[in-house]
Structure 1
Amino acid sequence: MKDDAQMCTAESGNGNANTDNDLEVPADLLGVLDELIDKLPTFDTGTGCQRWVTWLARSRQRIARGDPHGIDELLSAYGGMGSFNDLELNDDLDRLRSRARQIARRTKRELDARDHE
């Protein structure tokens, strides 16, 4: 792996390693998502941030459970008209948004490569 981010293996809700999904998530992705989820509501002035807080929280939950579809769900927030990318944010939130996408894209590439081995 090119990045030195710490990795964690997601666990299922019962505390056992999730062997069906076996998603390894960079620990910093969960941290970045937590920051976005915490900070977006304080920025919202009728800009639709709550929609994205809900989206990010749902994606984060899936990722933390080891569901690789959580990565797909997160990345889908960044595409198309009216996407998370279109939301005008301050510099700090924009940096977090970009970082979350960067980590998620890298994780998706790694999952795809593993699936094709």
Structure 2
Amino acid sequence: MVDVSRKRGGRSLNSHDEVRIPADLLFDLDELADRLATPNVGGYAYPDWSAALRHVRRRIALGDPYGIQQLLAMFGGMGSLNDLIIDHETTEVIARVRTVGWATAVDIGLR
């Protein structure tokens, strides 16, 4: 876990006054961004998704809890990360990022 003190608007975002980010989330975000930047078996790459994930990862690594919120928004609606047609291994990384992202949001009081 990465612990970062963070307050917004004079009040704590969670009961511990820190943002606890699982290190494996940061690792998986790096892996996913790398995988999406590289053409997959079908010859497709997703550089825009890769750049967006790298941006969110930087926010999360700095302890910005709203980086988690931005990450979770990438999984909703049409044209989301859920809609990408990619290889099985990348799909598994996406599932891990989504699962740990949601758990982190609950842990820090965003959900």
TM bucket normalised to smaller: 0.7 to 0.9
Q: How far off its partner does 1:41 sit? A: 1.4
Q: Provide the residue aligned with 1:14 in structure 2.
A: none
Q: Provide the residue aligned with 1:8 in structure 2.
A: 2
Q: Provide the residue aligned with 1:52 in structure 2.
A: 49
Q: How high is the TM-score relative to the length of structure 1?
A: 0.77
**Percent identity of equivalent pairs:** 37
Distance 1:19 1:103 in 2: 20
Please, which runs of 5 or more residues in structure 2 have no aligned partner? 9-17
Q: How far off its partner does 1:74 sit? A: 0.4
Distance 2:6 2:74 in 1: 27
Runs of 4+ in structure 1 deviating by more than 2 angstroms, as ranges, are 18-22, 43-47
Structure with greater strand share of residues: 2
Greater RCO structure (CA 8 Å; 6+ sep): 2
Please, which runs of 5 or more residues in structure 1 have no aligned partner? 1-6, 11-17
Q: How far off its partner does 1:31 sit? A: 0.3
Q: How high is the TM-score relative to the length of structure 2?
A: 0.81
SS of 2:2's equivalent in the other structure is strand
Q: Provide the residue aligned with 1:15 in structure 2.
A: none
Over aligned residue pairs, what C-alpha RMSD do you find? 1.9
Q: Confirm or deny: 8 A CA contact 2:6 2:64 kept in the other structure.
A: no
Q: Provide the residue aligned with 2:73 in structure 1.
A: 76
